[in-house]
Amino acid sequence: MKEGNYQMMKLYERLVNKGEKISVVGLGYVGMPIAVAFAKKVDVIGFDLSKQKIEQYKSGIDPTNEVGDQVIRNTTVDFTSEPSKLRDAKFHVVAVPTPVNADKTPDLTPIEGVSRTIGRNLTEGSIVVYESTVYPGVTEDVCIPILESESGLKCGIDFKVGYSPERINPGDKVHRLENITKIVSGVDQESLAEIAKVYELIIDVGVHRASNIKVAEAAKVVENSQRDINIAFMNELAMVFDRMGVDTQEVVEAMNTKWNALKFTPGLVGGHCIGVDPYYFLYEAEKLGYHSQIILSGRKINDGMGAFIADAIIKELILANKVVKQAKVAILGITFKENCPDTRNSKVEDIIQRLNHYEIEPIVVDPYAESKDAKSEYGVDLVPFDTINDADCLVFAVAHDIFKNITTERLDSMFGQHPNKEKIIVDVKSILDKEKIKKAGYSYWSL
Ligand SMILES: NC(=O)c1ccc[n+]([C@@H]2O[C@H](COP(=O)([O-])OP(=O)(O)OC[C@H]3O[C@@H](n4cnc5c(N)ncnc54)[C@H](O)[C@@H]3O)[C@@H](O)[C@H]2O)c1
């Protein structure tokens, strides 16, 4: 048996005994909670390219809101942006972004870059586990060759590789890293066993051992594609019911009384998972000569919802005899999902852009989002929630708790005190009490 192999068989024990370290590379929404969880059991180096992010963590700030500042302050994770420190770790967990390019093809730049960084600092007997969402084949056909060429080591002999997709749901306080079954896979049985044991340290509900890496990669992209398609179906229904004058929410409520109803609702599909992962799958399918019908249709529908909602806003303004170009529209929420500060790939931007076509410059509030993110990503200057006092139309775009619990008095104050003024509410996620709102004299539209 080669020395590298021998060392690896002992890796789990050596990690637990703190003779070796784990590195978590890419400390965002996914990587940071993993690093913190592992640090409760083993020594962890937390590496990120962004010096600014590392400084935040070092000063006890959790910009993702996933674990909170207190936890960051108390964690033993050794935060660093110095690549050579990766040499001190034998088990590497990779959680860098996997976005799409403007043409919706996979952008593998970060995962290739991180593979080069780890490769240059890889030592014999190490294991590298990728967690970033990818299409089947990326780990073995893209990442392993880079690790090998940068390190001069041979995968399967000198080091091993695995893939374990991340399934956390940012902002979700119920489904947490520890209580979501984790899929694990490895290049061979030996690495699978080792990787499974290491993850079992932090996953209370246990792991699912996939038979190979491609199965694990595929499972992740298709579980999100499945959600995308189901939401697209609901969005299609919402667009048809809008024409029929039938209330979608009431239909969904009635339909959901059946035991096998799927409980999806219409809405914007943004973010960097559900709105992105299907494109990874489609890309690989296309390369193999298969032109997807269902997944692509779902994507088209979901990507068009921002424009559909904006058009509904315009219709409501016209019906209320407002001068469209002068209408004061306030959008509540810009993050891609509720109760989460993440603004990446927010489809609220599509509503804003479409309104801009009609020369409406909506004001936007979001107490959860960082002003600098809204500005740098969308050129939007967020305004404080309590400064809205003269709106013609309020668009509840994101189902933040703070918006759900809004009182009619608060709503009234946001429209100002003009007698006979038509007050329009567009409730994208149907978070408000429709009957109460209508009774209070507002025009109400929901998806
Ligand atoms: N956020 C989610 O809800 C979620 C859920 C499941 C899976 N995922 C997947 O997990 C992966 C990470 O997502 P995320 O939301 O944590 O992203 P993120 O942008 O929040 O974090 C990624 C981090 O990686 C760092 N980074 C980028 N390139 C790097 C490099 N070459 N070396 C070191 N660090 C680098 C960035 O600075 C950033 O801090 C993606 O593939 C995503 O699709 C995300």
Model confidence pLDDT, tens digit, residues 157-200? 999 999 999 999 887 889 999 999 999 999 999 999 999 999 99
Banded pLDDT at 9 (limits 50, 70, 90): low
Average pLDDT over residues 327-335: 97
Write out pLDDT tens, residues 99-145: 999 999 999 999 999 999 999 999 999 999 999 999 999 999 999 99
Atom of ligand 1 nearest to the CA of 272: 43
Round to the nearest angstrom and report the end-to-end CA distance of the chain: 63
Average pLDDT along the chain = 95
Q: Which of 143, 155, 273, 340 is catalytic?
A: 273
What are the distances in angstroms from CA 21 to CA 18, 38, 44, 144, 193? 7, 10, 6, 21, 18
**Tokens at 276, concatenated:** 């992105």
Banded pLDDT at 6 (limits 50, 70, 90): very low
Q: How far apart are CA 5 and CA 388, in angstroms?
A: 64
Banded pLDDT at 1 (limits 50, 70, 90): very low
Residue nearest to atom 20 of ligand 1 (CA): 28
Write out pLDDT tens, residues 238-272: 999 999 999 999 999 999 999 999 999 999 999 98
What SS3 state is found at 362?
coil
Residue of 32, 72, 65, 69 lying closest to 368 (CA atoms) = 65
Q: Is the CB of 242 under 6 A from ligand 1?
A: no
Complete domains list, the chain, with CATH: 3-210 (3.40.50.720), 212-303 (1.10.1040.10), 304-447 (3.40.50.720)
Q: How far apart are CA 292 and CA 283, in angstroms?
A: 10
Write out pLDDT tens, residues 285-315: 999 999 999 999 999 999 999 999 999 999 9
Average pLDDT over residues 30-55: 97
Residue 324: DSSP 8-state: G
Predicted pLDDT of residue 333: 98
Catalytic residue status for 273:
yes
Banded pLDDT at 369 (limits 50, 70, 90): very high
Banded pLDDT at 428 (limits 50, 70, 90): very high
The CA 96 to ligand 1 mean position distance, Å, reads: 4
